[in-house]
Structure 1
Amino acid sequence: MPEVTSEPQEKPTTAGPEVAKDRQVLDFALWLTPRGAERYAWRERIEAVAKLLGGPVFAPHVTLFGTFRRSVPEALVLAEALSRDLAPIPISGAGLGIGADPWQALYVPLVVNPQLWRARRRVCEVLDAEGAADFMPHLSLYYGDAPTVQKCQAVELLEPLPVIDWCAQELVLVTLGDRPERWSTEAILPFRG
């Protein structure tokens, strides 16, 4: 993982391709992720649903903030600052939600507890972004546009209905691509708040 300083470092314009990458503006997201056995169990569920419905396989996560655009150094500085401000966040939820939006097609809705709400507000402040009030935290199990009937079949596959009860300990900075297979982890930053 690259070292993060308080300010992005300027590189000489004669450095070649590295300069272009550092200055290229990309789409990023900030995630909270389960660890260990919890992560493995959610990954298995996501893979099973993807196999049944033909969707992508992706890392289990809760999106703390969706798409924002920055250069890699700028995004790293922001994520590092946020990780210093944030403390562990209890993540809990139960049941399943089925939606028409391909990005919220099948998911576990989460409880918006005070710690999660404060983290979302803080991210919006740091990014100078609207959207704190529009927060609908969830852990997605499927992305795609399968018919509702097929999504209901996937629910049967997931029974007993999943329960989420873990504590987020780190902020994950993800570079977004045009589809989940192209998403990549830029940094995993432990909370220090």
Structure 2
Amino acid sequence: MLNNIFIIKFLSFLGFIAIFLLFYSILTVPDPMQNVQLNEADTNKTEVYSVWAIPSEDVSVRVKKLMGGLRSEFGGPQFEPHVTVVGAVRLTEEEARDKFRKGCEGVKKAYSGTVEKIDIGTFFYQCVYLLLHPTNEVVEASARCCSSFGYNSSSPYMPHMSILYADLTDEEKKKAQEKAYILDESIGNLSFQISSLALYKTDTEDKSLKSWEKIEEYNLS
């Protein structure tokens, strides 16, 4: 009799465990639709992107040396030498890649850039820069890429290669401008080849530039 009672209790206990495990498995099984929604959210996430014209390697090395000399005295973040072709545009990564490739197909071949002078600007991202001659090649490359991105600037295109990002006073900017000529006396009439275009993620709110990254590069033939 006691054995029967024990067996019944034992079977009841096993039944309780089985029911508990069943409910636990139901509650902990991931919802596949939730994963789909999360993936869609990642896909639809927008970031700020820009298109840069990248100078040839020898020129990049030279400009980096100049930039390093300016940063050592005036501060500011480190960044790659470039000529902005398309300004900041907010898109998904898929949209940005697609528009970038179409824009590059419109440019296709390498082109030249020539420095007119070292100049100073009015805000952080144009503190001190190399102003380029707005030749047909330079302007057209920007126009083709901007068209692909649907980017419309409020002011005429001013091709330039920044050599210092910083928040400086007007007096400090002039000192940095003078310092640039001292560091590289002939930089003011530099001519160089633009050998590739690059798509960069460029959150303009991040002045440390730590979040900036190259997404894709297109070599110009």
Task: Give the CA deviation at 1:15.
Answer: 5.5
Task: Give the CA deviation at 1:113.
Answer: 0.9
Higher relative contact order (CA 8 A, sep 6+): 1
1:127 paired with 2:146, answer no
CA distance, structure 1, for counterparts of residue 191 and residue 96 of structure 2 = 29
Task: Give the CA deviation at 1:134.
Answer: 1.4
**Larger helix percent:** 2
Greater Cα offset, 63-72 or 121-130: 121-130
Equivalent position amino acid for 1:54 in 2: G
Could you report, residue by residue, the CA deviation over 1:123-167 in whole angstroms, capped at 9, with x for unpaired residues? 222122322861011110111221222223223332215133111
SS at match of 2:35: coil
CA distance, structure 1, for counterparts of residue 216 and residue 79 of structure 2 = 17
Structure 1 contact 31–65 (Cα < 8 Å) conserved: yes
Could you report, residue by residue, the CA deviation over 1:28-63 in whole angstroms, capped at 9, with x for unpaired residues? 000001132211111111121112111111111100
In structure 1, stretches of 5+ residues that fail to align are 1-11
Task: Give the CA deviation at 1:13.
Answer: 7.4
| Identical aligned residues as a percent | 20
TM-score by length of 1: 0.84
Could you report, residue by residue, the CA deviation over 1:54-107 in whole angstroms, capped at 9, with x for unpaired residues? 111111110001111111111111111111221212111132111222221111
CA distance, structure 1, for counterparts of residue 166 and residue 91 of structure 2 = 27
Structure 1 contact 107–140 (Cα < 8 Å) conserved: yes
CA distance, structure 2, for counterparts of residue 67 and residue 57 of structure 1 = 19
> Larger C-alpha radius of gyration, 1 or 2?
2
Equivalent position amino acid for 1:165 in 2: S
CA distance, structure 1, for counterparts of residue 198 and residue 158 of structure 2 = 18
- How is 1:74-93 mapped onto 2 (pairs within 5 angstroms)? 74-86=95-107, 87-93=109-115
How much is the aligned-residue C-alpha RMSD, in angstroms?
2.2
- The one of 133, 144, 169 equivalent to 2:195 is 169
Task: Give the CA deviation at 1:175.
Answer: 0.2
CA distance, structure 2, for counterparts of residue 15 and residue 46 of structure 1 = 46
Equivalent position amino acid for 2:117 in 1: G
In structure 2, stretches of 5+ residues that fail to align are 1-32
1:183 paired with 2:212, answer yes
- How is 1:1-193 mapped onto 2 (pairs within 5 angstroms)? 14=35, 19-86=40-107, 87-131=109-153, 134-158=156-180, 159=182, 160-162=185-187, 163-177=189-203, 178-179=206-207, 180-191=209-220
